[in-house]
Structures are given as structure tokens and as C-alpha cells.
Amino acid sequence: MKRFVAILALLLVAGCQTPYQDMGLMGGVTAAPIGGDVYRISARGNGYTDPTLIQDYVLLKAAETTLQAGKTHFVILGSQDASRQEFGQTQGVMQTNVYGNTAFTTYTPGSTYQIVKPGQDLMIKIGNLTGPNNFGAFDANQVFNAINPRVNRPKKS
């Protein structure tokens, strides 16, 4: 029974992660042309999203952008961590108990918690490369085939 509850909890939390989708209020991924064959790929997640998943999102979007442009390879020109931190506060609790003519009040203060929302930005250059010496270049088909099967996409209604 404990194993079932643990698996159910994992599935619920995994269901709260940002899916691979166009950028929206809950996060997502986008590609914006900068000029020539250079693109900025951005991905943002919510507080339930694993940072490695965001890395998968930007690499997958880079591969998709490359293939959609009819190119075969992309090179990462630069990368930046775009994660955000937010803090929350739970309410404190005050309780008063009366015993006879005497009141006793206790106060338990709230607690502060941190939420990390992962994000990643990449600058890529796309192109067609041939030959064995493509140092630093990613084959878009290989990246797509490696990452696409493990990415959660929203269900279309």
C-alpha cells in the first residue's frame, strides 16, 4: 500500500510539471529568429518542473527549429540560466484556551519557503554540415530522436 501511495504521489507531482508547449502563463518553450541563421531558444518551467527537463526542452526546440528550416545541424553559441526564485509565506496560527478565569494564548509563526522556477536560454546557429569533422555541432535528427520520446506534450482536445 505504501508503494502505491508513493507512486501515486509521484504521478501527481509529475502531472504538475510544465509540459512541452508554446510559451504561456505556466511556462513553455519558444524560438525567436535573431537574424540570419541565428535563433534564441527560451524555455521556462514552473515550481514543479525539473531543471534537466528544461534543458531537454531547449535542445528539442533547437532541433525542431533546425529541421523546420530545412537544415541539418545546430551549434550552441551561448547559454544562460534564466531560473527564477520566488518566496512564499505560510500563515501563523494563534490559539487561545480558557481555563476558568485565565486565558492562555499560544502563537506558532508561519514559515517561509522557496520556489525555484527553472529557465534556460540558448543562442544557436543553424546550418547544413557534411563530413565527419563537425566539432561542436549537434545533428538535429539525432537530438530530436533522443529527446522527443521522453517529452510530455499536452493532450489536444
pTM: 0.73
Is residue 104 situated within a structural domain? no
**Regions of the chain with pLDDT less than 70:** 1-16, 131-134, 156-157
Q: Is 75 within a domain? A: yes
Indicate whether 122 belongs to any domain: yes
Domain that holds residue 21: 14-85+115-150
pLDDT at 22: 77
Say what the pLDDT of residue 12 is. Answer: 45
Domain membership flag for residue 137: yes
Residue 96 lies in a domain: no
The distance of Cα 111 from the centroid of its chain, to the nearest Å, equals 26
Would 93 be classed as within a structural domain? no
25 in a domain, yes or no? yes
| pLDDT number for residue 141 | 94
The pLDDT tens digits for 13-43 are 445 677 777 787 778 899 999 988 999 999 9
The amino acid that residue 52 corresponds to is T
Q: How many domains does the chain have?
A: 1
CA distance 84 to 46: 9
User: Which pLDDT belongs to residue 13?
Assistant: 44
Quick check: is 21 in a domain?
A: yes
